[in-house]
Structure 1
Amino acid sequence: MLTFEPDETLAHRLDPRTKLAVQIGFAATALAHTTPRALLVLSALTAIALVAANVSLRRTLVAYRFALLILALAPLIAGVAFGPPWIDRSDAVASGLASYRVLLILLVSAAYVRSTPIRDSRAAIQRTIPGKPGQILGVGVGLVFRFLPVLRSDLRTIREAMAARLGTERGAVDRAGTVAVLGLTRAFNRADRLSLALQARCFAWNPTLPPLSFSRADYPVLAFAVVLALSTFY
């Protein structure tokens, strides 16, 4: 599971608002420009983002393995035609390029997750979006980043317990149903415990957040994010 890791990379030193702006600009550009040449440029930018955050490509691909499976199956399914010639190459290629764009966006988001503490992400969102909407969104982002690793660990524990009890010899549907039921049960139990913990700690909608400030390194990166956003109109 991708999580924040302390480091001294360029991405770690940037303000989280700068990194959010780059992510938004990159995603908008990736969705707006679909030509192979544009994807080649976006691939180079993705490589720079991974290097700037010192992200391991192998670990990231392993963490995204389930999403990668869906992205790989999408072109195959899109290319199937119900009649001669049975395979529609144009649809398969278009779907493949779309899957590749999504992969690039996921890799850039991995650089953000590794280089940004959860509290900084919440602070960036709440100071960018004023009022209650920003507070709700900031709390939601913080809870998702903290809750998903725990749920993932629960699912892994369930699968390991099933394997230890020869559960792998049962049918695939039966195994999936068992994992789903137990996973949902643990998720609801975790949610109840989280609610109780928030009440016990006097949960506040507007806590004291870490200070944020732009450094000299942020300004050229912010300018680049603006260029990315504007490129969607050309």
Structure 2
Amino acid sequence: MLGYQHGDSLAHRLDPRTKLAVQLTFAVAAFAHTDPRGLAVLTVVTAGALASARLSPVAVLWGYRFLLPLLAAAVLFELVTLGPPWLDLAAAVDPLLASYRTLLIVAVAAGYVRTTAARESRAAVQWAIPGKPGRLLGAGVGLVFRFLPLLRRDLAAIRDAERARLGDERPTRERLQTVGAAGLRRAFARADRLAMALSARCFSWNATLPRIRFRAVDAPALALAAGLAASVLV
């Protein structure tokens, strides 16, 4: 799974609120324009978003490869029939477009994750939602961005350890039980350590966050977000 990387790309220089606006309006536009023509336009927008983040489509597909079997299964479920003609191509068109739309949304989200630090995301959320709800949600966003990569790293380490002990020769059910149980133990242990660390550091609801401000470079991106929102209304 992709994570934040420090850099100086165009997307790195954008205000996090601008990137959130583009991501939100893009998702809404993707659900509003489900025809091939609309998805073709959104594909161009996605390519621009990835280029601004200096992120290749291949890296996105590899980073979120666990989604591909699920998307393919949705298409195959509609494509294959239990009787003649066995393959219904017309029925698979809509699931195929929906799966492709999901990939576009994930790609734009990957550009946001790669170019936005957790503290910047928290600052943007607390700006958009004032008061204690915003602080709670902002803190949750920051913890998720930091916690998920650690859990993924733990699962990868558990799988490597199982493979080194010839665990890959065991039945699939046993492997799932072993990896799942060990993963849950690691997750609960990390959660306990996280709670203790927050208490030891006197976790603050009003943490000092990075200063965010709109710049001239945000103008084209905000115009893009406005255009995507207008396309939904039109």
Pairwise TM-score range, normalised by the shorter structure:
over 0.9
- Cα displacement string for residues 61-116 of structure 1 (whole angstroms, at most 9, x for unaligned residues): 11101012211221001233344434333331100100000000000011111111
In structure 2, what residue type is equivalent to 1:186? R
Structure 2: which 5+ runs fail to align?
A: none
Structure 1: which 5+ runs fail to align?
A: none
The equivalent residue for 1:222 is 222
The equivalent residue for 1:177 is 177
Q: How does 1:202-221 map to 2 (within 5 A)?
A: 202-221=202-221
Higher mean displacement: 89-98 or 104-113: 89-98
- Cα displacement string for residues 165-200 of structure 1 (whole angstroms, at most 9, x for unaligned residues): 111110111101111111111111111111111101
**C-alpha distance in 2 between matches for 1:197 and 1:80:** 52
Q: How does 1:30-69 map to 2 (within 5 A)?
A: 30-69=30-69
Q: How does 1:152-167 map to 2 (within 5 A)?
A: 152-167=152-167
* CA positional deviation for 1:52: 0.4
Q: How does 1:29-108 map to 2 (within 5 A)?
A: 29-108=29-108
Q: Percent identity?
A: 57
SS at match of 2:179: helix
Higher mean displacement: 105-114 or 77-86: 77-86
**C-alpha distance in 2 between matches for 1:47 and 1:91:** 28
- Cα displacement string for residues 38-67 of structure 1 (whole angstroms, at most 9, x for unaligned residues): 111111111110010101322221110101
**C-alpha distance in 2 between matches for 1:7 and 1:101:** 28
SS at match of 2:123: helix
**C-alpha distance in 1 between matches for 2:132 and 2:192:** 24
**C-alpha distance in 2 between matches for 1:232 and 1:179:** 44
- If the length of structure 1 is used for normalisation, what is the TM-score? 0.96
**C-alpha distance in 2 between matches for 1:57 and 1:87:** 30
- If the length of structure 2 is used for normalisation, what is the TM-score? 0.96
- Shift of the 58–201 alpha-carbon distance from structure 1 to 2, 3 Å rule, reads same
**C-alpha distance in 2 between matches for 1:147 and 1:70:** 24
- Cα displacement string for residues 124-160 of structure 1 (whole angstroms, at most 9, x for unaligned residues): 0100111122112111111111001100011011111
**C-alpha distance in 1 between matches for 2:148 and 2:157:** 14
**C-alpha distance in 1 between matches for 2:140 and 2:111:** 20
Higher mean displacement: 222-231 or 21-30: 222-231
**C-alpha distance in 1 between matches for 2:69 and 2:229:** 29
In structure 1, what residue type is equivalent to 2:91? D
In structure 2, what residue type is equivalent to 1:10? L
The equivalent residue for 1:151 is 151
* CA positional deviation for 1:163: 0.7
Higher mean displacement: 94-103 or 222-231: 222-231
In structure 2, what residue type is equivalent to 1:222? L
SS at match of 2:4: coil
**C-alpha distance in 2 between matches for 1:225 and 1:3:** 24
Aligned length: 234
The equivalent residue for 2:189 is 189
